[in-house]
Amino acid sequence: MKDRAWSYSVLSAFELCPRKYHAEKVSRRVSEKSNHAADYGTEVHKAFENRLLRNKKLPLDLRHHEKIMVRLANHEGESLPEQRIAINADFESTGFFDDDVWCRGVVDFGKLKEPNLLLVDHKTGRMKEEFDQLDLMAVMMFHHLEEVENIIGVFYWTKNKRFTKKNYARSDIADIWGDFLPRVEKFQKAFETDSFPAKSNFLCKRHCPVKDCKYNGS
């Protein structure tokens, strides 16, 4: 059986609750609840992209990020627009919608000055001290841009205008995959065995459309 294509958000949704993930994304027997936070995030990403790559003014409600945008725009190197990147199961770069896609990812903004890359992801949610998503984006960029040897990975937390960052070297590739592959194996195994059990979590009470689950509402 061919491996299922995945991304960080797919893996996270599966790990949070396999049953909800399957109902929403695989069988599609339920519709996902509309998500204002996600809509807001999309708006912010678009406004930042317009500011950083097209020098368009930020809308008034985001104008307080201007100084940060200037810092990012002035960072040394060539500005990279949003990068929609994908690799195949042999860890080779491939087209985002190609048949052999194994893993996909999107990088919001980058500055490339060979052999260094600044990789930026804008986060509109609650700040966390977790880096696995950044780890995945960094390793994908190493596969995608073979000239890159060092990456400074940065989350920009828009709610409190703070950065969290992590440095990567090309020699980190094996360690990063060593952390991710067991997680991906569980994801692929679920498809092989058609096993997507319910896993109670913070969404059960009010934010899950799978009404026939015994945890729904509790």
- Contact positions vs ligand SF4 (CB under 6 A): 17, 19-20, 198-201, 203-204, 208, 210, 213, 215-216
Contact 93, 87 (CB under 8 A): yes
Of the two residues 22 and 144, which places its CB atom closer to ligand SF4 in the complex? Answer: 22
* Residue 24 beta carbon to ligand SF4: minimum distance, rounded to whole angstroms: 9
The single-letter code of the amino acid at 148 is V
Of the two residues 74 and 202, which places its CB atom closer to ligand SF4 in the complex? Answer: 202
Of the two residues 21 and 180, which places its CB atom closer to ligand SF4 in the complex? Answer: 21
Of the two residues 167 and 200, which places its CB atom closer to ligand SF4 in the complex? Answer: 200
* Residue 101 beta carbon to ligand SF4: minimum distance, rounded to whole angstroms: 27
> In the sheet that 162-169 helps form, which strands lie side by side, from edge to edge?
78-80, 109-113, 116-123, 150-157, 162-169
Alpha-carbon distance values, 73 to 64, 109, 111, 162, 190 (Å): 15, 10, 9, 17, 43
* Residue 199 beta carbon to ligand SF4: minimum distance, rounded to whole angstroms: 6
CA separation for the pair 177, 100 (Å, rounded):
19
* Residue 12 beta carbon to ligand SF4: minimum distance, rounded to whole angstroms: 13
CA separation for the pair 218, 5 (Å, rounded):
32
Of the two residues 106 and 213, which places its CB atom closer to ligand SF4 in the complex? Answer: 213
**Closest Cα partner for 133 from 38, 12, 14?**
12
Q: Which two three-digit tokens encode residue 86?
A: 């994908």
* Residue 53 beta carbon to ligand SF4: minimum distance, rounded to whole angstroms: 37
* Residue 27 beta carbon to ligand SF4: minimum distance, rounded to whole angstroms: 12
End-to-end CA distance of the chain: 37
Of the two residues 31 and 171, which places its CB atom closer to ligand SF4 in the complex? Answer: 31
CA separation for the pair 122, 42 (Å, rounded):
10
